[in-house]
Amino acid sequence: MNLVEKILARASGREKVAPGEVVVANVDSLILHDLSGYITSRVFEKEVKRKMRYPERVAMVFDHHFSPPNEERARILEENRAFARRHGIHLFDCGSGNIHNVAVRNGFVRPGTIVVGSDSHTPVHGTLGCFAVGLGNNSNAGTVMPFGKAWFKVPETIQVKISGQNKPGVCARDVALWLTGQIGEGGVVYKAMQFTGPYIKELEVWDRWLFPLITIDVGGKCSFIEPDEKTVNFVKGITDEPFEVITSDPDCEFADVWEYDASGLEPQVAASPTLGNVKPVGEFAGAPVQWAELGGHGGGRLEDIRQAAYILRGRKIAPGVKFNLVPSSREVFTEACREGLVQLLHEAGCTWFPPSTGSNQAINMGAMAETEAMVSTHARNFPGRNGSPKAMMYLGSASTVAASAVKGCIADPREFTV
């Protein structure tokens, strides 16, 4: 069996499971956010009407809001807070950071466990060797909250092997964006992916994270990376909670094996309307942008802030460009302060925002008029996500975002880094 099958077998009390079987398994962590938490809570209190079985396993993070923009939103947040208090679940209020970063940094994600959540990017937690999937309200409120369980169909697994080394100026996010295009938006419908190969093994944990992050947007159910020494040290540095590392059997079989070589890759940009519209940065170079942002489910990491600072040291962003910096957690902001990056980027003309998910769906920042365009580290670029359906969203690495902010148009970061 592979890692996912072994986790599902253990959590459902079976010796063995095989793809296609449905199991009812124990869930270790449930992660909710402010946008849908109140909908889940209404189902739980008005329809399910049972007791919260394991409140200590449930976390709600206010990450789409860092401060409510109007009365209606303020009321939703109050409803979420009251629910959290009534049932004793963990609450991370406005300014805590992005849901998935907060979940990791507070020990809700440990190797060998089952992590579920309302957010569609929940599969990102496969980075630490978990079985992690997004669920709907009926599952979260109907079975996870009252019983600590959920049903799961055991997926088939594709092995995705990546080899090669990046050229200077090219980074893990470029590879992940490119891979989204290679696999395709419906490329792995309902399947699991194991990300492996020398390229993945070399990466540090926060760079590995960018690969399981693409799961949902290529149609997958979940992804995982085999936990190794880096994973174990990373998690032990965060939590004292015990965990048992589970790895795939060496002889486990995959539904398919796909191999990729990242060696020759250029920096990549994915332009609206879809993530599949990904091309080398040169294809979009010169397209004007008024907004730049480090933020979103995969952005605003310390690695992103460092990349931007490397390019902006001694430079200013172009007149007319607004560059939003959104740390993915309070810990990231602390470290950016310590390294002097906060002042450096401020003086380069950037604007710091509170730790959150940034302009994801333009809840309280990042709306654009039809004449505007943004380049960002966000996870999606669908029309209408940031205001006008005609506004453009370009996704790229933090280096590409920073280089574009300096030039006022999509730019190749290698002009500044190589």
Partner 1 sequence: MIIKDKVFEIYPDNISAEQIAHTKHVNSLTPEGLAVAAMKDVDPDFLKKLGNGKIMIGGSNFGCNSSREWAPSALMYAGVELLIAQSFSRIFFRNAINIGLPILESPEINEYVSVGDELEVDLSTGEIKNITTGKKTQGTILPAFLLKIMTSGGLLETLDAER
**Which positions lie near partner 1, rule CB under 8 A?**
20-22, 36, 39, 43, 47-48, 118-120, 133-139, 142-143, 151, 153, 155, 185-186, 189-190, 216-217, 219-221, 361, 380, 382, 384
- How near is the Cβ of 211 to partner 1 at its closest, in Å? 18
Q: Report the residue number, 19 or 95, with the smaller CB distance to partner 1.
A: 19
Q: Compute the distance between CA of residue 124 and CA of residue 223 in angstroms, rounded to an integer.
A: 7
Q: What is the DSSP string of 52-87?
A: -S-GGGEEEE--S-SS-SSHHHHHHHHHHHHHHHHH
**In sequence order, what are the beta bridge partners of 324?**
293, 351
**In sequence order, what are the beta bridge partners of 288?**
409
Strand-by-strand arrangement of the 131-134 sheet: 90-92, 58-61, 29-33, 114-117, 131-134
- How near is the Cβ of 257 to partner 1 at its closest, in Å? 21
Q: Report the residue number, 22 or 255, with the smaller CB distance to partner 1.
A: 22
- How near is the Cβ of 130 to partner 1 at its closest, in Å? 17
- Give how far the C-alpha of residue 406 lies from the chain's centroid of Cα atoms, to the nearest Å: 26
Q: Report the residue number, 21 or 331, with the smaller CB distance to partner 1.
A: 21
**Residues 6 or more apart from 250 whose CB is under 8 A from it?**
none
264, burial (CB in 10 Å: exposed 0-12, middle 13-18, buried 19+): exposed
Q: Report the residue number, 274 or 334, with the smaller CB distance to partner 1.
A: 274
Q: Report the residue number, 88 or 389, with the smaller CB distance to partner 1.
A: 389
Phi, psi torsion values for 231, nearest 5 degrees = -65, -50
- How near is the Cβ of 221 to partner 1 at its closest, in Å? 5
- How near is the Cβ of 32 to partner 1 at its closest, in Å? 11
Q: Report the residue number, 29 or 139, with the smaller CB distance to partner 1.
A: 139
Q: Which amino acid is at 3?
A: L
Other Cβ atoms less than 10 A from the Cβ of 109: the count is: 27
- How near is the Cβ of 385 to partner 1 at its closest, in Å? 8
Q: Report the residue number, 184 or 286, with the smaller CB distance to partner 1.
A: 184
Q: Report the residue number, 306 or 390, with the smaller CB distance to partner 1.
A: 390
- How near is the Cβ of 383 to partner 1 at its closest, in Å? 10
**CA nearest 332: which of 77, 10, 134, 101?**
101
- How near is the Cβ of 289 to partner 1 at its closest, in Å? 24
CA atoms within a 13 Å half-sphere pointing along the CA-CB vector of 329: 18
Exposure string of 323-341, with b = 16+ CB inside 10 Å and e = fewer, is bbbbbbbbbbbebbeeeeb
Exposure string of 63-93, with b = 16+ CB inside 10 Å and e = fewer, is bbbbebeeeebeebbebbbebbeeeebbbbe
- How near is the Cβ of 171 to partner 1 at its closest, in Å? 25
* Three-class SS state of 227: coil
Other Cβ atoms less than 10 A from the Cβ of 418: the count is: 10
Q: Report the residue number, 36 or 399, with the smaller CB distance to partner 1.
A: 36
Q: What is the DSSP letter of 318?
A: P
